[in-house]
């Protein structure tokens, strides 16, 4: 982070559909089969999306802090972290807490509002 918190910038980058090519899993999401959509064996087959990788490379240069910010729940932290590590995406990972049944949009909005208040970031950008 920069020495001046008033100008600090945070980049939040989603995983599914931004970094990870989830097209081979989308049919599960369309049917609400979230256990299958997030199955570790299927997650491991995701390819890295080149536009997402380019976005990440830009973010680590242009922002003071980068975090991966996903609606995936913490119970699949390990397979998610392995996938990120395999693709040399080494920044912190923020996941939805276990048992959090709130809509994803509410979870993400609340997290961003809390970070703005707590950290004093001048700008938070979300790629979702």
pLDDT tens per residue, range 68-122: 999 899 999 999 999 999 999 999 999 988 877 777 788 888 888 888 778 888 8
How far is residue 45's CA from residue 18's CA, in Å, rounded to a whole number?
A: 15
The arithmetic mean of pLDDT across residues 6-22, rounded, is 93
The arithmetic mean of pLDDT across residues 25-52, rounded, is 96
* Bridge partner list, 48: 20
How far is residue 13's CA from residue 39's CA, in Å, rounded to a whole number?
A: 21
Whether the full predicted model's pTM is greater than 0.95, yes or no, is no
Q: Is 120 helix (H, G, I), strand (E, B) or coil?
A: coil
- How high is the pLDDT of residue 1? 46
How far is residue 117's CA from residue 18's CA, in Å, rounded to a whole number?
A: 26
| pLDDT tens per residue, range 33-44 | 999 999 999 999
Complete domains list, the chain, with CATH? 5-20+48-127 (3.40.50.1000)
How far is residue 112's CA from residue 90's CA, in Å, rounded to a whole number?
A: 21
């Amino acid at each position: 982070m920069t020495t001046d918190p008033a100008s600090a910038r945070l980049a939040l980058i989603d995983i599914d559909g931004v970094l990870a090519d989830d097209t081979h899993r989308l049919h599960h999401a369309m049917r609400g089969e979230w256990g299958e959509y997030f199955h570790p064996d299927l997650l491991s087959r995701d390819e890295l999306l080149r536009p997402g990788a380019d976005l990440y490379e830009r973010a680590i240069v242009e922002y003071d802090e980068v975090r991966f910010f996903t609606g995936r729940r913490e119970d699949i932290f390990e397979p998610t972290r392995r996938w990120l590590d395999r693709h040399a995406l080494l920044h912190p990972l923020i996941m939805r807490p276990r048992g959090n049944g709130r809509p994803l949009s509410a979870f993400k909005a609340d997290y961003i509002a809390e970070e703005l208040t707590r950290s004093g970031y001048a700008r938070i950008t979300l790629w979702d």
